[in-house]
Amino acid sequence: MNTVVNLPPLHAGNAKLRLGFGTWWRCAEIFYAFYNEVYEMEYSHKPVMADECISGLDIDPNGIYVDCTVGGGGHAALIAERLDEGRLIALDRDPEAIKAARQRLEPYKDKVIFINCNFSEVKQILGGVRPKGALIDLGVSSYQIDNPARGFSYMKDAPLDMRMDQRQALTAYDVVNGYSEERLEKIIREYGEERYADRIASRIVAARENAPIRTTLELASIIESAVPELPRASFRSGYRRQRSYSHPAKRTFQAIRIEVNGELDVIEPTIRDLVDLLLPGGRLAVITFHSLEDRIVKRTFAELQKGCVCPPDFPICVCGKEPQVELITKKPITPCRAELEDNPKSHSAKLRIVKKL
Ligand SMILES: C[S@@+](CC[C@H](N)C(=O)[O-])C[C@H]1O[C@@H](n2cnc3c(N)ncnc32)[C@H](O)[C@@H]1O
């Protein structure tokens, strides 16, 4: 994690308190970690497949571009630095992301317009403006995951929150403590693709009968206790380098996050809106981080490429739908070995690009 301040050195040998150096050192470490995490977290996020995205967007220096998920502004900076008369419209539903991106993009401030909104509103926001390219980099940023105050991580204790936009009412606490067992099981199975969804949902409901589940680590330990011994043993004995390694709470946390933020529902309509808006020859690039997202993007791109939706046994087309895009990536682009080594968080990323006809 990056930090922006250095704390003054601690005077470890204070004889009056008769504490040993080890105790002081441990106190200093705890204080330092707490201080950094809660008060001085810098917005840090490495843009994934940055070169591939930028070359795939084939930037026109005089065109209008939309970054639907500006996050820390990594991709946006690379787009903005290539613009001449062109402009970048940068969206994010998280006000903290907009603040961070505004700082990072200060050198290009005359070329960038920031809007704090859900990208599902892009059509209303752009009005009649027709972009030459757009990017959607789905999911959460490293900052959101690593900042304990946001409650996204099963590794750090925090109140159950997980909202990308903290003005929204629904939180992870409401989902975990308010949903019926059936509803919990359904979201954990569908959004987490978790095979032990029934056991986890039932364990959550039993646990909350005593008292509400309030924190991420409480929830993580309930999930861990619901997962059979074998996967738990593999996690504890540290199969970190194995492909099969996965924290027992990972899938359930993903499911709850998707539910809290309504992440999947907005992908297809936004892709269709962006394709409508794009100028002919304009490009849309989408980066996904799990198979649920990628399936939606792949299917939507395939439908837009195909055009006609008549049943296959119709002798002629009666729907009149024309193909709207050409697939630039027949298969998704994935991070190269060097990027995987430099940024392991990119390991599940897939990039798909289309060109408007
Ligand atoms: C993976 S990060 C983007 C990182 C960014 N490309 C960069 O290089 O720094 C995803 C961002 O998308 C935002 N986001 C996710 N879903 C969104 C939505 N439906 N509308 C607007 N922003 C969204 C999140 O708040 C987060 O800041």
| Domain contains 335 | yes
What is the per-residue pLDDT for 44? 72
CATH number at residue 326: 3.40.50.150
259 C-alpha vs ligand 1 centroid, how far in Å? 16
Using the atom order of ligand 1, give the atom closest to the CA of residue 72.
9
Mean pLDDT throughout 164-168?
95
Do both 78 and 9 map to the same domain? Answer: no
The edge-to-edge listing of strands for the beta sheet with 350-356 is 112-116, 87-92, 64-67, 133-137, 283-288, 350-356, 325-327
Domain, as residue range, for 191: 164-261
Q: Please, which pLDDT band fits residue 11 given cuts at 50, 70 and 90?
A: very low
* Beta-carbon count within 10 A of 155 CB: 15
Please state which of the ranges 197-211, 217-231, 235-249, 263-277 shows the lowest mean pLDDT. Answer: 235-249
Confidence of residue 148 (pLDDT cuts 50, 70, 90): confident
Lowest-pLDDT range of 1-10, 157-166, 205-214, 338-347: 1-10
Alpha-carbon torsion (108, 113, 119, 124), positive or negative: negative
| CB neighbour list of residue 20: distance below 8 Å, 6 or more residues apart | none
CA 124 to chain CA centroid, Å, is 23
Contact 64, 87 (CB under 8 A): yes
176 is a domain residue: yes
Q: How far is the CA of 89 from the centre of ligand 1 (A)?
A: 14
Residue 231: pLDDT above 60?
no
Determine the pLDDT at residue 3: 29
Same domain, 104 and 190: no
Number of domains comprising the chain: 3
- Supply the pLDDT for residue 40: 46
Which of 2, 49, 75, 93 gets mutated to test ligand 1 (max ligand atoms within 8 A of its CB)?
Answer: 93
Expressed in angstroms and rounded, the spacing between residue 97 Cα and the centre of ligand 1 is 8
User: What confidence category does residue 35 fall into, taking pLDDT thresholds of 50, 70 and 90?
Assistant: very low
CA nearest neighbour of 216 among 176, 174, 156: 156
Question: Which of 54, 67, 92 for a ligand 1 pocket mutation test, highest count of atoms within 8 Å of Cβ?
Answer: 92
Q: Is the pTM of this model over 0.75?
A: yes
Whether residue 134 sits in one domain with residue 56 = yes
Residue 88, pLDDT score: 98
Please work out whether the CB of residue 289 comes within 6 Å of at least one atom of ligand 1. no
The torsion angles phi and psi of 170, rounded to 5 degrees, stand at -70, 130
Least confident segment among 12-26, 76-90, 130-144, 255-269: 12-26
Cα distance between residue 27 and residue 62, in whole Å: 55
Q: Read off the pLDDT of residues 256-306 as tens digits, 9 standing for 90 and up.
A: 999 999 999 999 999 999 999 999 999 999 999 999 999 999 999 999 999
Tens-digit pLDDT profile for residues 45-71: 799 999 999 999 999 999 999 999 999
Amino acid at 160: L
Structural domain includes residue 201: yes
For the Cβ of 80 lying below 6 angstroms from any atom of ligand 1, the answer is: no
Strand ranges, E, within the chain:
64-67, 87-92, 112-116, 133-137, 283-288, 325-327, 350-356
**Alpha carbon distance 163, 157 (integer Å):** 16
Pocket probe for ligand 1: among 69, 142, 290, 296, the residue whose CB has the most ligand atoms within 8 Å is 69
> Which atom of ligand 1 is least distant from the CA of 75?
8
Q: Is the CB of 287 under 6 A from ligand 1?
A: no
- 135 - beta bridge partners? 67, 285
Q: Residue 309: its pLDDT value, please? A: 86
* Residue ending a domain, choose from 227, 261, 295: 261
